Amino acid sequence: MARKRVGNKRERIIAAAAKLFGEKDYHDTTTAKIAESAGVAAGTIYIYFRSKEELLVAVFEEFLGRHMDRLREGVEREKTPRDKLMRLLTLGLELMEDNPDSARIFLSQLRQSTKMITVVVKRSSRAYKDIIEEILTECARAGVCRDVNVPAASSMLFGAFQNTVLDWVAHECSYSLTDLSGDLSEFVLHGICCESTEEKGAVQ
């Protein structure tokens, strides 16, 4: 149980940090407030994390680790590259809708600098992009995709996705994010794949 308590503490700190970093921002959140919110002493944070910066990184990794699997899993259950792409976007929006705090960090802090953070964040968000690029490459190979510049397209897709979520957060999550699933999918599918209503009609 003592062991459990320990794990408990690390988790509680990460959870508190995620909440607070999301509410304010990295610089406006003090380690003191995180400790208080996590119900631990100020010094305790430094037993689990070397620095405040490392805590932020841990928050990211926790977020990614927790969701990336679900994402990859969901994607792989689909058969066609096209469906995979759709599933990726839909699941992504669902994930964000369920974790507004994490979403906030993912989006806002993603663009803060300070060397170390930047580096780690790049590495972390790399995971996301990897999935995207994988699918796009698959699409390209399958011929369902126009001959796009994969990294560029992946970046655009990611940007479109991010901004959709960002707007939702900026509007204080006052509407359903998953309702935009269709709009986003359509935008992306048309932007990347050679599909359109006309073609669908043609298929019939």
Q: Which residues bind DNA (CB under 7 A)?
A: 2, 5-6, 9, 28-32, 40-48, 51-53
Count of residues in contact with its own copies, rule CB under 8 A = 48
By a kind-dependent CB cut-off of 5 to 8 A, residue 187 interacts, out of its own copies, DNA, none, with its own copies
Min CB(77)–its own copies separation in Å: 25
Residue 64 contacts its own copies per CB under 8 A: no
C-alpha span between 81 and 144 (Å, rounded): 8
Cα distance between residue 96 and residue 106, in whole Å: 9
Helix (H) or strand (E) holding 34: helix 31-38
Decide which of DNA, its own copies, none touches 157; Cβ closer than 5 to 8 Å per partner kind. its own copies
Residue 67 host element (H or E): helix 52-77
Rounded-to-integer distance, Cα 134 and Cα 150, Å: 9
- 170: three-class secondary structure by DSSP: helix
**87/204 Cα distance (integer angstroms):** 24
Q: Which does 47 bind (CB under 5 to 8 A by kind): its own copies, DNA, none?
A: DNA
Q: How far apart are CA 183 and CA 175, in angstroms?
A: 14
| Residue 135 vs 192, nearer CB to its own copies | 192
- When the beta carbons of 68 and 169 are compared against its own copies, the nearer one is 169
Of 156 and 173, nearer to its own copies (C-beta) is 156
Shortest Cβ 199–its own copies spacing (Å): 6
**Site stretch for its own copies (CB under 8 A), options 31-39, 73-81, 93-101, 110-118:** 110-118
- Does residue 2 touch its own copies according to CB under 8 A? no
Q: How far is CA 147 from the centre of its chain?
A: 27
Residues constituting the chain: 204
Distance (Å) of CA 158 to CA 116, 126, 151:
23, 11, 10
* Integer Cα distance of 7 and 42 in angstroms: 17
- Residue 153 binding target from DNA, its own copies, none, CB below 5 to 8 Å by type: its own copies
Q: Which residues bind its own copies (CB under 8 A)?
A: 24-25, 27-28, 107-114, 122, 146, 148-149, 151-153, 155-164, 166-167, 170, 180, 183-184, 186-188, 190-192, 194, 196-199, 202-203
